[in-house]
């Protein structure tokens, strides 16, 4: 299989195999008016198999979503067929409007304009807790 290289755009690489579609959905990449390629189960020396997303445009990505779904991903910015920046994404310390509080008594449930803010409470288990009520968040 051959996927063309990107002249100007973004490559999201080293995605754990099977998580590419989840990242595509959460980043709302279906709403873009440019070419987006999703490569699933690509052979990787480092990972065995991996997913890759190529976006044929330079857009702002929510790195917190990427880090929450799969820390360890790399995001490469391509301009004029050259790599100009490469970011290694880690698990974010805070998430804003990415996950939601499941506590029906939380202030977020009644005050709709408040941002959904969560802090990382357990890095090993990837657990985030609501800053308002301390309940664990979910997608």
Binned at pLDDT 50, 70 and 90, residue 2 comes out as low
Tokens 């709302």 identify what position? 28
CA distance 122 to 126: 6
Q: Kind and range of the H or E element at 67?
A: helix 63-69
> Residue 32 above 70 pLDDT?
yes
Q: Each residue of 54-112: pLDDT tens digit?
A: 999 999 999 999 999 999 999 999 999 999 999 999 999 999 999 999 999 999 988 88
Q: Give me the CATH topology for the region 9-88.
A: Alpha-Beta Plaits (3.30.70)
Q: Find the angle CA(64)-CA(10)-CA(26) to the nearest 5 degrees.
A: 40
Class of domain 94-138: mainly beta
pLDDT at 84: 95
> Residue 41 above 80 pLDDT?
yes
Mean pLDDT score of the chain: 93
> Residue 139 above 90 pLDDT?
no
Cβ of 23: how many Cβ atoms within 10 Å? 22
> Residue 3 above 80 pLDDT?
no
Tokens standing for 54? 């190529």
Residue among 30, 52, 48, 29 at smallest CA distance from 40: 52
Q: Evaluate whether 9-88 and 94-138 have a shared fold.
A: no
pTM for the predicted model, two decimal places: 0.86
CA distance 116 to 42: 35
Residue among 22, 78, 93, 20 at smallest CA distance from 50: 20
Q: Each residue of 96-119: pLDDT tens digit?
A: 999 999 999 999 988 889 999 999
What are the domain boundaries of the chain? 9-88, 94-138
Binned at pLDDT 50, 70 and 90, residue 46 comes out as confident
């Amino acid at each position: 299989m051959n996927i063309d290289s990107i002249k100007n755009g973004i490559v999201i690489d080293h995605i754990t195999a099977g998580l590419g579609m989840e990242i595509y959905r959460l980043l709302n990449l279906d709403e873009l008016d440019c070419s987006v390629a999703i490569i699933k189960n690509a052979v990787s020396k480092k990972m065995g198999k991996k997913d890759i997303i190529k976006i044929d445009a330079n857009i702002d990505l929510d790195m917190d979503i990427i880090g929450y779904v799969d820390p360890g991903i790399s995001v490469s910015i391509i301009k004029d067929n050259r790599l100009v920046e490469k970011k290694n994404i880690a698990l974010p310390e805070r998430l804003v409007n990415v996950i939601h509080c499941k506590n029906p008594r939380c202030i977020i449930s009644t005050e709709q304009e408040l941002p959904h803010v969560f802090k990382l409470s357990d890095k090993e288990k990837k657990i985030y807790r609501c800053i308002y009520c301390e309940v664990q968040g979910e997608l």
